[in-house]
Amino acid sequence: MLDINLVRTNPELVKENIRKKFQDQKLPMVDEVIELDREYRAAIQKADGLRGQRKTLSKQIGGLMAKGQKDEAEALKAQVNAMADELAATEAREEELQAEIRKRMLVIPNIIDDSVPIGRDDSENVEIERFGEPVVPDFEVPYHVDIMERLSGIDLDSARRTSGNGFYYLMGDIARLHSAILSYARDFMIDRGFTYCVPPFMIHGNVVTGVMSFAEMENMMYKIEGEDLYLIGTSEHSMIGKFIDTILDEKQLPQTLTSYSPCFRKEVGAHGIEERGVYRIHQFEKQEMIVVCKPEDSPMWFDRLWQNTVDFFRTLDIPVRTLECCSGDLADLKVKSLDVEAWSPRQQKYFEVCSCSNLGDAQARRLQIRVKGEDGRKYFAHTLNNTCVAPPRMLIAFLENNLQKDGRVHIPEALRMYMGGKEFIG
């Protein structure tokens, strides 16, 4: 959510940013906010004036009563009563205007960083760098579900009967590999100085609207019927929510946390063969990175976060590349975002396994996460998040890149201690 002062003082900047994101339908909202804000401030001024007049008249009533001038006092009381009704109506209008302003401000997109490439959708994202040499083996690499089934590692049919499409049972060595990757990711991030955390897996509605846009919320979140609780789509939601309505001392920054959680997503609109299997599902697990920091430090932390993911995948000998997300591919709260994509030998192309985002002060402003500087000044923190690893999607990259010609799957050195010392499965 933007600072209302920016909308007041530089509406053209806000409109130009909307155009860069190809959301022209939101342009009228800027003028609407300005007009509503003007009326809101006038209502505040009027209410303050009425309160002042009421206070003055109340004192006069006391003086008249003391002098025995009852009729004059009663006349002033009638004025005060009428003023009270007018004040109540004005205060109600204040609340109404404030709600209308917030409703629009929550959907006006955040100002994107100057370095973000301009484009309509993810087809116009820009490749930045590649890490590792992509290899296409001299044998056919089966579909990832076929690899898992040959290793007796997945049961989709039973999951469809118990839960429907988009769910799975992982079995045997594949299930163990899934847990091993998460355990390794946890220790990898702890070794990089992050504090390990297991957060709540359900959050209140005000936290949901604090961490994401309405469009994301509608397409992602599962609501618990009859309660003000939502299942998290990623641990970022509850981890950022951890700081709601807090004032952090500047010396407490940065907060660098790595969190494990299951994740639950509707995945509205998922389709196509690569969306089947375990690529795009309703339930998965993830190791996340969260940073809460000073505004001037967020670009540095952005680069550190995505580099952590690249380093993690390279320790498992999986080639990856980084993509700068274009303006039209950024969610409304994001200032800047970068995807890490892993190499798929079967498809002979890269696919997304991680998303790193700098949200500026958007989440902090919505959730009132403030920092107190050494000079006593309070300001909003910046928040960032990044996926370290999210199996089972990451299992696709792992299995395809480590599959041997004889059907076995090689276990890299880094994972063996989590796999009972095994060098191969199958």
Task: With a cut of 90, say whether residue 217 has pLDDT above it.
Answer: no
Average pLDDT, stretch 185-214? 95
CB 334 within 8 A of CB 393: no
Residue 79 is part of a domain; what is its CATH number? Answer: 1.10.287.40
For residues 198 and 338, membership in a common domain is answered with yes
Task: With a cut of 90, say whether residue 214 has pLDDT above it.
Answer: no
For residues 338 and 391, membership in a common domain is answered with yes
Each residue's pLDDT tens digit, 329-346: 999 999 999 999 999 999
Task: With a cut of 70, say whether residue 196 has pLDDT above it.
Answer: yes
For residues 178 and 68, membership in a common domain is answered with no
pLDDT at 268: 60
For residues 278 and 416, membership in a common domain is answered with yes
For residues 84 and 156, membership in a common domain is answered with no
43 Cβ partners below 8 Å, 6+ apart? Answer: 90, 93, 94, 97
For residues 96 and 128, membership in a common domain is answered with no
The answer to whether position 43 is within a domain reads yes
pLDDT at 68: 74
Each residue's pLDDT tens digit, 77-87: 777 777 788 88
pLDDT band at 269 (very low <50, low <70, confident <90, very high): low
The answer to whether position 333 is within a domain reads yes
The answer to whether position 274 is within a domain reads yes
Q: How many CB atoms lie within 10 A of CB 55?
A: 11
pLDDT at 215: 74
Q: How many domains does the chain have?
A: 2
pLDDT band at 273 (very low <50, low <70, confident <90, very high): very low
What distance in Å separates the CA atoms of residue 238 and residue 203, rounded to the nearest whole number? 6
User: What residue has token string 């897996």?
Assistant: 201
Question: How would you classify residue 380: left for phi > 0, otherwise alpha for psi between -120 and 50, otherwise beta?
Answer: beta
Closest listed residue to residue 172, CA positions, set 147, 154, 146, 150: 154
Q: How many CB atoms lie within 10 A of CB 414?
A: 16
Each residue's pLDDT tens digit, 3-36: 999 999 999 999 999 999 999 999 999 999 999 9
Average pLDDT, stretch 363-392? 95
Global pTM value = 0.89
User: Quick one: CA torsion of 310, 240, 396, 124, rounded to 10 degrees?
Assistant: -70
Residue 215 is part of a domain; what is its CATH number? Answer: 3.30.930.10
For residues 294 and 345, membership in a common domain is answered with yes
The answer to whether position 271 is within a domain reads yes
Each residue's pLDDT tens digit, 407-418: 999 999 999 999
Q: What is the 3-class SS of 265-294, one letter each residue?
A: CCCCCCCCHHHCCCCCCCEEEEEEEEEEEC
Task: With a cut of 80, say whether residue 240 has pLDDT above it.
Answer: yes
Domain boundary among 105, 139, 166: 105
H-type alpha helices, 10-155:
11-20, 27-66, 70-105, 144-150
Dig out the tokens for 363 from the structure: 């989440």
Dig out the tokens for 129 from the structure: 């760098």
For residues 12 and 148, membership in a common domain is answered with no
Q: Which domain holds residue 138?
A: 122-425
What distance in Å separates the CA atoms of residue 161 and residue 170, rounded to the nearest whole number? 15
For residues 136 and 96, membership in a common domain is answered with no
Each residue's pLDDT tens digit, 369-379: 999 999 999 99
User: What residue has token string 């989590």?
Assistant: 418
For residues 278 and 379, membership in a common domain is answered with yes
Each residue's pLDDT tens digit, 113-170: 999 999 999 999 999 999 999 999 999 999 999 999 999 999 999 999 999 988 999 9
